[in-house]
Structure 1
Amino acid sequence: MVPAADALLLLSFGGPERPEDVMPFLENVTRGKGVPRERLEAVAEHYLHFGGVSPINALNRDIIAAVEAELVTAGIELPVYFGNRNWNPMVEDTVARMAADGVGSALVFPTSAWGGYSGCLQYHEDIARARTAFGAGAPELVKLRQYFDHPLLIEAFADAIRAARERLPVDLRAGTRLVFTAHSIPVSADDAAGPPADGGRLYSRQVGDAARLCAAATGFTDYDLVWQSRSGPPHVPWLAPDIVDHLDVLATEDVAAVVVCPVGFVSDHLEVIWDLDNEAAEKAAELGMAFARAATPGTDRRFAKLVVELISEHLRDTRSRRLGDVPGYGCTRNGAACVVDCCAAPRRPIGGK
């Protein structure tokens, strides 16, 4: 039997929208993780550089408006709600509002395409926490599947890569190096991601598969996958190399132009505009290297179409469209673990997108 749903919940990470929210937001993100105060103050400066406003909430509201329009086009009547893990609107408040509006069951679209703890399981924890906070009678919530290799996502990234290359000097385009980035996580967390029988490393393998698909779609045979936004202590190994360090390496190889594609992000999170548009772009300029950053797909109409396709998989039993070679998984109701236990929690939970 195809399940019914009364609503869609877009579930995201959250971000401050005024300067006085920055430190409380960062305290929410890092609660229980032993992050020193001086580290929070350093990260706070990144937000304050942009007036204390993260772009993520506004971008998510734009996504919601686009999804609402696509739902109308598809003939699917679902109100769309918005909740966050770390800042207003908090998911607990949103689930309470959904219940007050008479929503008995809803699908949940996470703004993360990936498996692993912070990419998947932590969203289940958000769902479970919100339902527990409400108590008896909380809406049933079904998290939509991982979508890292959905054709519409790959198409949107591919067009963004082509557009970025067109912004480079004409005489350097032929030799452009394509560099993909995604949010780094501890190596131990990546090793634990994925069913044991599948060999782990689900997150980095999915990111690598998405990069491969995007490169193939744009005709690049030479590309690199690197990482960004590391936040852990120096003695803990994280996925490497970092994008800024990698630009130094490319300079030794006489690479004159790069297109950087943040394949691990669906929208221009603060980490994208700080780590790439500021730090990486400044490093490239220092090295005399032409630099262009590909857009993220959240503002592309195809992204809203992707969301509606995932909804249709549940409501209309339509076929799942996937391009990749790496497994992707769907999940169960009400914040339970994925059916195949695809996303193990690390010993100390790691924040993510």
Structure 2
Amino acid sequence: MQSPIRIGLVGYGFGGRFFHAPLIAAEQACDFVGVVTTSPERRAQVAERWDRPSYDSLEHLVRAGAEAVAISTPAATHVPLVRRALELGLAVVCDKPFALDAASARATVELAEKLGRPLTVYQNRRWDSDFLTLRALLERGRLGTLVRYESRFERFALGQAVPLAGGGTLLDFGSHLVDQALVLSGPVASVYAEMHRRDDTKGLDDDVFVALTHRNGVRSHLWGSWRQGAPGPRMRATGSTGTFVVDRVDGQEQALLAGTTPQSEGDRWGREPEQHRGHVRRGDVIEPAFPERGRWDLFYAGFAAAVRGAGPVPVDPWDAVATATVLDAALSSAREGRVVQLS
């Protein structure tokens, strides 16, 4: 058996505390070394929850024996921290959005390749139950050929500030929405987007719509919002012979927020209750779609294997460059009121 990878975490805000630390600690192929944070409050939280030390910097983490690191900090700090971690010899997981623009994303991936370091991006939503179920339905031919894909991350937080750490709704929610669309339907030929900004969000967008036309002809319609009082279906995928609809978002986020982990839940982890399952519809004919198990727990197992040379990283970092390219085009489209063509 290969030894666990010694991995640390940079940042212990919302993402680090709920989406990374529990999954790292639950993974047998990982040895959770500790957290880089200088906040006294967060250091106390780390010590209380995980009984792990906190470190002042990436350099101190390396001295403690770390060989890999997960970076979960505000979006604007991702590229500098990833580059420094790579230069220190660490394998890296970076939270989304990977970078604020495609040029920065591309340069960072090229640096990782030059240095020969494993680099991946935390696109955990590829392992959502609803997304895995849709892919399984398409593979089994239950929908025919995909024609249009509709996907939403919509929440109601009117009057509350849009989280600054994510860089705005387009970068925060859009990173997942676009990544899933690219996994399903491949490269994009054109992008159209609409965006709303509130005066109290420091210039950040709080509501976006993005329409993608893929090179294979599939159209992806994507919504992200912090001010939607009546969220639409989480996902609606229309094929040539049927449509898959699921209303509710995958439950793994809520499970982590409630304090459960893959370690505590075992085989129950990621299983959606029957009342949350989606359906395949053909007019008046409605058939249940048995939900695939959500598997966020597979991400760090895959990353550990990649660090040991036993497989590819869970998410190819060049996929994050492709996503950033689409998001750049969406921003230009929304600003200029035009359809942006991608070569």
The structure richer in strand per residue is 2
Bigger relative contact order, structure 1 or 2, given CA contacts below 8 A and separation 6+? Answer: 1
TM range (shorter): 0.3 to 0.5
TM-score by length of 1: 0.38
The structure richer in helix per residue is 1
